[in-house]
Structure 1
């Protein structure tokens, strides 16, 4: 789950805790929304700097541990504690992880939900993982020097469109005829085959991702991907027994510049598809932080901790999306970004539309040829390309797109509401010149016989008597949606206005009869809208973790909940280092083990911290197994190697419990 839906679901008590931080409070006062703050690089960098200024704060180290262990996958805190105890990747004690995760929640870095059985799941918002990865584990690979880069041999690969254009051509097929669904709610084979034919993506390029989705036995994964992205972006909707274009959502998508569209698609790919697998998410996040156009060797990233198979899978996907180029330097695999996406410069930050607005001011001309071919250069915007899909037949789709006006394309344009005049006006405005005479003649001839007759889906509204008919005609609002009166008491209403007409009739005291066509149409519309909302919220491809199914955790833990029994022990045990009797030391060690806490002792005359793990029996002469951990005041070199310490070594002792209520700046 991303930051925005996570913040929208926040209980008010947790929202207030997060807002109490100065770095959040000040920005809230300036008018920013909480989700905007918690997804920005500026806030993340400020929080990190503030936490690092506190010498004994475990939050940053806890964040580093969970990034490397779980990435953006949900986890239980107890599992993170066990991981820390078993591996040498951290010196954190269990107590420090308990406090660290609590502080990460209070800061708005982590969020929590409760499963049906009451178990708590913690998670890092998916769209923030790349940013934290970049801030805490900066990639060390530098682009190849110019002399070496010149020796890279690009791989022999077929031309690929940027994903934004690949999807546009695919969605135009859905827009022209819709995508019919079977009784099982999956696309029928003939309509799915049409969509598949319009995609250059292949099943082989996606099989390694193991997508799971409805109809996977008959629907190609590339078609499922196009549907999933469309539902997630709101460009597609499910309407009754078919999938169609969502006009409002598509208009919003087409308002983007191509670079902005591919940026949004890259972010969706990282957050939705890479996040399902920890190693893949790590590779995707590191690759996203690289500057474009510079060649890198794959071995440098494998040496830095990337899984080789995951890296290869992700680079292959980016290449198939038209964003990345692969090659080789001698016997070493290499790659480079071939498209400059804004996400690379500032991952997870809000899209800088102002900076991109300048692109809209640059004229983008198409070229209309006398033979009715239309040449479309790469810089042509998405909205113009979408309109051309409606007006002309696509001949080729490469670096340059080529369309041709034909009688069949004019028929399709007429069905979409265009006339010869509106098509000519569009082409002249985008080409900057008058249409060649042969093209004008073609439009006149093709549109000449079109639009004279047509079929239209309407609903018949019939009044039982003259009194009811008179009430209908006297109502100004209802008269406004009546298309035509076709009899003394019969009226035509557009099908899309039926629901509004029902409300108006009820206000007039004339509710339509039960089981009538109007009511059936209204129920059908309501059912379709509900299905569309459900599909859009979840996409088409099943997510591995759907956190929206769980309730947000409404409670923030108190110290005694993190450390049960804290009120039952002498406060001095966790307050200062003192000399105790051997039996008391034994009790303190047992309590520290129960809490997963470390203890402070004097080692070689200097203070150090020891994490006890197992207490061996004995009243006076007892021993404890554990490991030494780093301690801020100690100059002794400590490590996590398992050791055994005897009771005689505990001259001074204190249980170390990190403070949950550190000073908020």
Structure 2
């Protein structure tokens, strides 16, 4: 989940608490929002520099070992180095929660799970691991690789095909809530993803035994984008969203689609999530092998310890790289030595930004043989109208559409006229509309409309007297089109509810017919011209609203949990603080053997640390266990001398074991209460 999604779910009191954090005050006074602060690298670097040592250690552990995966307190403690106590882990996590760097959710049984936002993770990887190479430094080694070819129209083009089919023929649902088998087969036939490329993503989705994976992905994206909405009997095309979506430049469509795909299919486990982020640092056009990405992770301690480099590389290829090649964002290639390599053909996460200027719209070529050649720079808004009046014959870098009598008839049935069709073709044809094509189009369209079927509604009266009474009702004339015999009237179909109310008021009770069709006849939407800038403005609001009503199931249940509305303050970390003698926290001195034992036991119970004077040196001890030893007792744990470690914490020593009398002064340390020593 991204920062924006999490912020939208934040309870008001939680947001107010975070806005009171002193570190955010300068930027909030300038008018920035918390959402902007949490994804601003410069701001977060400043925040990081003001975190306490335990907070830094916890943040490092979360980014390194959890990444975007939900985690609980136990998993966090296991991910931390041994010298950090459980109490320090709780205090450090509480500090991150108070600043909104991590969010807490309450499970149905009361326990908590925690989450680092996905875009926050990407930003923190840059802040905490600046040594990760920008471009892997491998590009020159594979300059002689040969690409294996493109992948058709890409994800945006495949989605366009499903939307066009929805407009042309509708997407009627069965009583089970799925599309009909024939329509599924027809839609699947038009999808050009290379078979098997999406299988490695491991997606689970509704109606998995009915929909092919590739079609399920496209329907899911259309639903999440709000371009299709679920009706009672069909999937309905939303014209407003469609118009803004198709007017967006392709790069910005890619940005939105890439973000959705990340939310659906980001690989599980921190190593591959680090790999996904690292891939985004490879410049466009530079060849790289998956193994090189894993090697960089290993060099930086981010590959984990559970899998070999070969296993991680194979998972990276199957779960993430292969789908991106299917979507046209990555190209696969081979080196002369037979090594499989990849390169970005586009960097979809960048989009193009709000400041991206509108570019000159491409034009297609209408051939005398009724073929239409469509270069890649022709906008989807133009292709939309083309799909209404012609048939797609092939989709590739240059697509081919064909005009036919049947395709023109379809356009006429969807409300176009012959003049509109010719005007559209002339306006967007690079070399004009061939005379023979225009003449033929006019001839094909000429018979249309001379005769037509009209859906009519018949009002049948019981007898002639009733019919005469109905005809004389005040206001009935506006509903009655004409008589159809002595007892029947043809009624305006779109006015049935009003006419029914009038009849009921007059003492008649005429039930509405089944499927009376007050809905308008489906039409292939005719889109109004819109600039890319206008589309960006409209789409920004639609995108912010978002939708989670897709077919694909989330890998995590955290989205179903309630966000915790409060953050733990320091006293909340120690609910029985009043039972601890104040002297144990305040006085650094020698204690009686029995008191020493009690203090060690309390430290183990609270998972916290002790400050000890050992051989003239102050040492922090995180006790793990006590045991009886030859008439006395000993304590085993991690001993640490003051100093700076890799994450800004203390310098770590090896695990130590001390007998009861081996240290002099001591004090109990509670992070946030008396953690200075």
Q: TM-score, normalised by structure 1?
A: 0.82
Q: Quote the offset at 1:536 in angstroms.
A: 5.0
Look up the match of 2:263. Answer: 271
3-state SS in 2 of match to 1:394: strand
Q: Is the CA contact 1:608–1:634 (under 8 Å) kept in the aligned structure 2? A: no
Task: Choose which of 318, 328, 331 in structure 2 pairs with 1:322.
Answer: 328
Once the two structures are superposed, what CA deviation does each residue of 1:303-326 show, in whole Å capped at 9, x if it has no partner? 214522221121111111111122
Q: Quote the offset at 1:578 in angstroms.
A: 3.5
Alpha-carbon distance in structure 1 between the residues aligned to 2:616 and 2:373: 82
3-state SS in 1 of match to 2:661: helix
Alpha-carbon distance in structure 2 between the residues aligned to 1:322 and 1:369: 28
Look up the match of 2:193. Answer: 201
Q: Quote the offset at 1:375 in angstroms.
A: 1.7
Q: Which runs of 4+ in 1 moved over 6 A?
A: 456-468, 487-490, 508-515, 518-523, 633-637
Residues 633 and 199 of structure 1, relative CA distance in 2, 3 Å threshold: closer
Residues 189 and 51 of structure 1, relative CA distance in 2, 3 Å threshold: same
3-state SS in 2 of match to 1:354: coil
Alpha-carbon distance in structure 1 between the residues aligned to 2:194 and 2:100: 40
Task: Choose which of 651, 669, 673 in structure 2 pairs with 1:656.
Answer: 669
Once the two structures are superposed, what CA deviation does each residue of 1:441-483 show, in whole Å capped at 9, x if it has no partner? 122112212244555678789999769964688xxxxx8xx8x
Q: Quote the offset at 1:72 in angstroms.
A: 1.9
3-state SS in 2 of match to 1:299: helix
3-state SS in 2 of match to 1:231: helix
Q: Gaps (5+ residues) in structure 2? A: 304-311, 520-544
Q: Is the CA contact 2:135–2:281 (under 8 Å) kept in the aligned structure 1? A: no
Q: Is the CA contact 1:141–1:300 (under 8 Å) kept in the aligned structure 2? A: no
Alpha-carbon distance in structure 2 between the residues aligned to 1:622 and 1:661: 27
3-state SS in 1 of match to 2:285: coil
Alpha-carbon distance in structure 2 between the residues aligned to 1:456 and 1:489: 15
Once the two structures are superposed, what CA deviation does each residue of 1:350-401 show, in whole Å capped at 9, x if it has no partner? x664322x1x232322222222222211122221122211121112211111
Kindly tell me the number of residue pairs found equivalent between the two proteins: 621
Task: Choose which of 337, 359, 362 in structure 1 pairs with 2:360.
Answer: 362
Asked whether 1:63 is paired with 2:59, we answer yes
Highest Rg: 1 or 2? 2
Alpha-carbon distance in structure 1 between the residues aligned to 2:201 and 2:20: 41
Q: TM-score, normalised by structure 2?
A: 0.81
> Which deviates further from its counterpart, 212-221 or 614-623?
614-623
Asked whether 1:570 is paired with 2:581, we answer yes
3-state SS in 2 of match to 1:567: helix
Look up the match of 1:48. Answer: 45
Asked whether 1:561 is paired with 2:568, we answer no
Superposed CA RMSD in Å reads 3.9
Asked whether 1:537 is paired with 2:548, we answer yes
Task: Choose which of 138, 160, 175 in structure 2 pairs with 1:168.
Answer: 160
Q: Quote the offset at 1:564 in angstroms.
A: 2.9
Look up the match of 1:476. Answer: none
Task: Choose which of 57, 61, 76 in structure 2 pairs with 1:80.
Answer: 76
3-state SS in 2 of match to 1:659: coil
Residues 195 and 563 of structure 1, relative CA distance in 2, 3 Å threshold: same
Look up the match of 2:13. Answer: 13
Q: Quote the offset at 1:490 in angstroms.
A: 7.2
Q: Is the CA contact 1:628–1:639 (under 8 Å) kept in the aligned structure 2? A: yes
Task: Choose which of 396, 399, 409 in structure 2 pairs with 1:398.
Answer: 396
3-state SS in 1 of match to 2:632: coil
3-state SS in 2 of match to 1:201: coil
Once the two structures are superposed, what CA deviation does each residue of 1:330-367 show, in whole Å capped at 9, x if it has no partner? 354422211133x25xxxxxx664322x1x23232222
3-state SS in 1 of match to 2:263: helix
Residues 486 and 161 of structure 1, relative CA distance in 2, 3 Å threshold: same
Alpha-carbon distance in structure 1 between the residues aligned to 2:460 and 2:582: 83
Alpha-carbon distance in structure 2 between the residues aligned to 1:630 and 1:74: 33
Which one has a larger percent helix, Structure 1 or Structure 2?
1
Aligned ranges 1:494-505 → 2 under 5 Å: 494=494
Aligned ranges 1:54-453 → 2 under 5 Å: 54=51, 56-84=52-80, 88=81, 91-138=83-130, 139-140=132-133, 142-144=135-137, 147-154=140-147, 156-157=148-149, 159-274=151-266, 278-303=270-295, 304-305=297-298, 306=303, 307-313=312-318, 314-329=320-335, 330=337, 332-341=339-348, 343=349, 353-356=353-356, 358=357, 360-431=358-429, 434-453=432-451
3-state SS in 1 of match to 2:167: helix
Q: Quote the offset at 1:30 in angstroms.
A: 5.2
Q: Is the CA contact 1:620–1:647 (under 8 Å) kept in the aligned structure 2? A: no
3-state SS in 1 of match to 2:610: strand
Alpha-carbon distance in structure 2 between the residues aligned to 1:144 and 1:511: 86
Alpha-carbon distance in structure 1 between the residues aligned to 2:578 and 2:55: 24
Residues 458 and 126 of structure 1, relative CA distance in 2, 3 Å threshold: farther
Q: Quote the offset at 1:98 in angstroms.
A: 1.0
Once the two structures are superposed, what CA deviation does each residue of 1:571-618 show, in whole Å capped at 9, x if it has no partner? 343346443333323222222222222222235533332211112247
Residues 148 and 516 of structure 1, relative CA distance in 2, 3 Å threshold: same
Once the two structures are superposed, what CA deviation does each residue of 1:208-242 show, in whole Å capped at 9, x if it has no partner? 22222222223211111111111111122222233
Q: Is the CA contact 1:163–1:321 (under 8 Å) kept in the aligned structure 2? A: yes
Alpha-carbon distance in structure 2 between the residues aligned to 1:615 and 1:7: 45
3-state SS in 1 of match to 2:551: coil
Residues 578 and 521 of structure 1, relative CA distance in 2, 3 Å threshold: farther
Once the two structures are superposed, what CA deviation does each residue of 1:8-29 show, in whole Å capped at 9, x if it has no partner? 2222221111112356555555
Residues 546 and 513 of structure 1, relative CA distance in 2, 3 Å threshold: farther
Q: Quote the offset at 1:510 in angstroms.
A: 10
Q: Quote the offset at 1:520 in angstroms.
A: 8.9
Alpha-carbon distance in structure 2 between the residues aligned to 1:323 and 1:511: 67
Alpha-carbon distance in structure 1 between the residues aligned to 2:412 and 2:655: 79
Q: Is the CA contact 1:366–1:376 (under 8 Å) kept in the aligned structure 2? A: yes
Q: Is the CA contact 2:470–2:476 (under 8 Å) kept in the aligned structure 1? A: no
Q: Is the CA contact 1:610–1:628 (under 8 Å) kept in the aligned structure 2? A: yes
Q: Is the CA contact 1:600–1:608 (under 8 Å) kept in the aligned structure 2? A: yes
